[in-house]
A and B are shown apart, each in its own frame.
Chain A
Amino acid sequence: MAVKSIISRPVYGTLSPQPGSDHLLIADAEGAAAILDLAKSTPDGFFAGAEIVFIPRGTGDKYTAALKALKPARWYEGPSIAAALPRLKQRLATAHMGLRLYLAGTEGLIGQAMQAALEVGIDHSSIQTEQRGSLARRMQCVHCKGITEDVTTQPARCSHCGLMLLVRDHYSRRIAAFQGVCINAEDPSQVPPMEEMFK
Chain B
Amino acid sequence: MSAGTTKLDVTVADVVPVNELVTRFHFRQADGGKLPTFSGGAHVVVEMRDGDRTRLNPYSLMSSPLDTAEYTISVRRDDLGRGGSLFMHRQVRPGDRMVVSYPVNLFSLDLRARKHLMIAGGIGITPFVAQTAQLAATSGNFELHYAARNAALATYGDVLTERYGRRIHLYHDDRGEKIELARLLNAQPLGTHLYICGPAPMIDWVRKTAGEAGWPPETVHFEHFSAPQPGAPFDVELAVSGKTIHVGEQQSLLEAIEAAGVDPPYLCRGGVCGQCETNVISSDGKFLHNDHWLTEEEHRSGKKIMPCVSRFEGRSLVLER
Q: Using a CB–CB distance below 8 Å, which chain A residues touch chain B?
A: 18-22, 92, 95-100, 120-123, 125-126
Chain A binding site: helix, strand, loop or mixed by DSSP? Answer: loop
Instruction: Given the known inter-chain contacts A19-B212, A20-B213, A98-B213, please indicate yes or no for A125 contacting B218, CB distance below 8 A.
Output: yes
B186 sits at the interface (CB 8 A): yes
Question: Closest Cβ of chain B: how far from A150's Cβ, in Å?
Answer: 29
Residues of B within 8 A of A19 (CB): 211-214
Question: Closest Cβ of chain A: how far from B48's Cβ, in Å?
Answer: 40
Question: Closest Cβ of chain B: how far from A58's Cβ, in Å?
Answer: 32
With a 10 A CB-CB cut-off, give which of B188, B212, B216, B218 has the most chain A CB atoms: B216
Instruction: Given the known inter-chain contacts A120-B114, A121-B112, A121-B114, please indicate yes or no for A100 contacting B191, CB distance below 8 A.
Output: no
Count of A-B contacts with CB under 8 A?
60
Whether A99 lies near B190 (C-beta < 8 A) is yes
Can you list 13 contacts pairing A with B, beta carbon distance less than 8 Å?
Answer: A18-B214, A18-B216, A19-B211, A20-B215, A97-B186, A97-B213, A97-B214, A98-B213, A98-B214, A99-B190, A99-B214, A123-B112, A126-B219
A123 to B112, CA, bound (A): 9
Instruction: Given the known inter-chain contacts A121-B113, A123-B219, A126-B219, please indicate yes or no for A100 contacting B214, CB distance below 8 A.
Output: yes
Instruction: Given the known inter-chain contacts A92-B190, A121-B191, please indicate yes or no for A97 contacting B212, CB distance below 8 A.
Output: no
Question: Closest Cβ of chain B: how far from A102's Cβ, in Å?
Answer: 12
Whether A122 lies near B214 (C-beta < 8 A) is no
B240 sits at the interface (CB 8 A): no
A122 to B193, CA, bound (A): 10
B80 sits at the interface (CB 8 A): no
A100 to B186, CA, bound (A): 13
Residues of B within 8 A of A22 (CB): 214
Whether B190 lies near A122 (C-beta < 8 A) is yes
Residues of B within 8 A of A92 (CB): 190
